A and B are shown apart, each in its own frame.
Chain A
Amino acid sequence: MARKIRVLVAKPGLDGHDRGARVIARGLRDAGMEVVYTGLHQTPEQIVEAAIQEDVDVVGLSILSGAHMTLIPKVTELLRENGAGDIIVIGGGTIPEADVKALKEGGWAAELFTPGTPLETIVEWIYEHVKVD
């Protein structure tokens, strides 16, 4: 039997809106993944450290403060610098379409889920893109 997919759900930056992050964390756990939730107000450095320490397959960043263009690239960059560039970075929150495009095309995030996305869509996406032995 394949091991369970490991996901770090993280809240970078200063905003405290954790409804989405906590709903997603619970949804992924209910879908059979192992989920670690960082809690609030995390710096990119703290998130990367947790991701490496927890040996996760996916980092899910939830941002509702408009700081996504700074924080998502920063996390991805730090992961690569620390030899953890294979960890898939995804994100969610109030992210305008143009920014979604820029983040994906720039290689900063593999996928971004905006408001109204059903939990199942995110679960399916992860199962499709993360291969575990």
Chain B
Amino acid sequence: MSGSKMDEIKVAREKWLTERMKRKDRDVRFETVSGMQVNDIYTPEEIRDFDYLRDLGFPGEYPYTRGVQHNMYRGRLWTMRQFAGFATAEESNQRYKFLLEKGQTGLSVAFDMPTIMGYDSDHPRSLGEVGRVGVAIDSLADMETLFDGIPLDKVSTSMTTNAPASILWCMYIATGEKQGVPSEKLTGTIQNDILKEYIAQKSWIFPPEPSMRLITNIFEYASKHVPKWNTISISGYHIREAGSTAVQELAFTLADGFAYVEAGINAGLDVDDFAPRLSFFFNSHIDFFEEIAKYRAARRIWARRMKEKYGAKNPKSWLLRFHTQTAGCSLTAQQPENNIVRTAYEALAAVLGGTQSLHTNSMDEVLALPTEKSVQIALRTQQIIAYETGVANVIDPLAGSYYVEALTNKMEEEAEKYFEEIERRGGVLACIEQNFFQQEIADAAYQYQRAIDKKQRIQVGVNEFVDPDEKLDIEILTIDPAIERKQVEKVQKLRRERNNLLVRDTLDALKQAAQGTDNLIPYILDCVRAYATEGEIVQTLREVFGEYKEKPTF
């Protein structure tokens, strides 16, 4: 825009402002859900340095602000991928078949806490936790049951596993072998993002260094044998759920991503050999425009850094592809049906932000695992966005909005400030040791809660528009305690019936390899094929690697 046009706008704005200031505003804080102040209006003045080709370009082209594919949802809609898993492999297998039948296009496996933490179902620490928040998987036998009748060359599967990701991934590869599907044909994602575990979700087993080794082992093995697999899903979701702001989610997640890139390069890998398989996972919280700006900024920052700082030459290495889940922490136990509406807005923001896949939360997830009915409504919410609203017709339709562009710039600037601070503190691992991320997130979480308690922030049904006579009348999924006994019996029977000499040999070989520098994936695969349990494999590695301990603070 020419300077004289900009001057004209400035003059007109002054004139408008004198009128506007005569109007009294509502007595509320005008800020995003993250506490970021926003103006009452955005104009060309707020994006005066805007350069279309430099800042946005075209979809599928550098710097990818407008999206990672040339035709985005006109080519293919996002993958509708509902995270699911509970009880035993049999029950979860039924739920997957139900979801596929209802038109879901990818699977996403939720594991129970013992599986997430590397304990078998009969371990004393697993007491009361088996099958509660996800499916219990103890060995390859359970994984075979989980995907029984689901051909692994026809579905893509996302598995939410981090500390023991290498083991569960090997079980999936071995399940493919049993079905006659070669590993080259498998598609899907393992979360495999240990840094955010130390930062936010806190489901760790080993200390950072051996954990990073397992991750780079996976990068290397996948690039040779499982080339279509997304080897990591670098996750902001849990950082946000732990209470961070949108900017913190963006900055900490991308900083983790850079740390993985550096780990891969330091392990001797060529950046273009593994970077195209890196993927991301973001939260979609309730502040509509802030979320859209976050996704757009994320793509631009990643592309620039990968190209300019890490010297990636393959354009696929520049792409930030991401999965989104609507914000569990935005949902309320009060008037849970309202959560359907919250989730719909959050899902819409993810789509307008150009997500590659999406999970929509069910209304009852703040109370328990979702029922079939509530999962179906959540899936239908995505289908309505995709097929009825028309938003999938036009690529990045909010580009050029003064507000959205200004907010996208602001997100990038604020993230850059965090990158500088992280660098100054000695990098991501040093920041974890210093409790830097954890404290930043805890502070933000506390401020958020105070704002709700003081009614500076309104949550419908919680601190305003409360229904004092509310009676919960939605159905709640319950997990039968008998499930734990059944799973415990199953793993104990397996231990009696398998070839225990072979199990011993493969575990010994793994232990020896772990003490050296070999890639551990082939060794873990051998253990898994011999039906060694997850707990046994983790224990073998724990003996070599040790365990991570956090200093508790609040």
Contact = CB atoms under 8 A, between A and B. Distances in A.
Contacts of B552: 37-40
Interface residues of A, number: 39
Interface in B109-161: 113-114, 116-117, 119, 124-129, 132-133
Given A26-B446, A115-B332, A119-B449, A39 B368 contact: no
Given A19-B242, A96-B476, A116-B333, A67 B113 contact: yes
A66 to B, nearest CB: 4
Given A23-B446, A40-B550, A114-B333, A16 B201 contact: yes
Q: Which of B119, B132, B462, B554 has the most CB of A within 10 A?
A: B554
Contacts of B202: 16-18, 40
Contacts of B453: 118-120
B442 A66 contact: no
Interface in A14-33: 14-19, 21-23, 25-27, 29
Interface string B412-446: 00000000000000000000000000000010011
B368 A22 contact: no
Contacts, number: 111
Contacts of A22: 442, 445-446, 553-554
Given A66-B479, A96-B476, A119-B453, A13 B128 contact: yes
Contact of B119 (A14, A21, A35, A115): A14
A115 B366 contact: yes
B49 to A, nearest CB: 38
B220 interface: no
A94 interface: yes
30 contacts: A13-B129, A14-B113, A14-B125, A14-B203, A16-B197, A16-B201, A16-B202, A17-B201, A17-B241, A18-B242, A22-B553, A23-B442, A23-B449, A25-B554, A39-B550, A39-B551, A40-B552, A65-B113, A65-B129, A65-B132, A66-B133, A67-B129, A70-B129, A74-B128, A96-B368, A114-B333, A116-B333, A116-B334, A116-B459, A120-B453
Interface of B: 113-114, 116-117, 119, 124-129, 132-133, 197, 201-204, 241-243, 329, 332-334, 366-369, 442, 445-446, 449-450, 452-453, 459, 462-463, 472, 476, 478-479, 481, 550-554
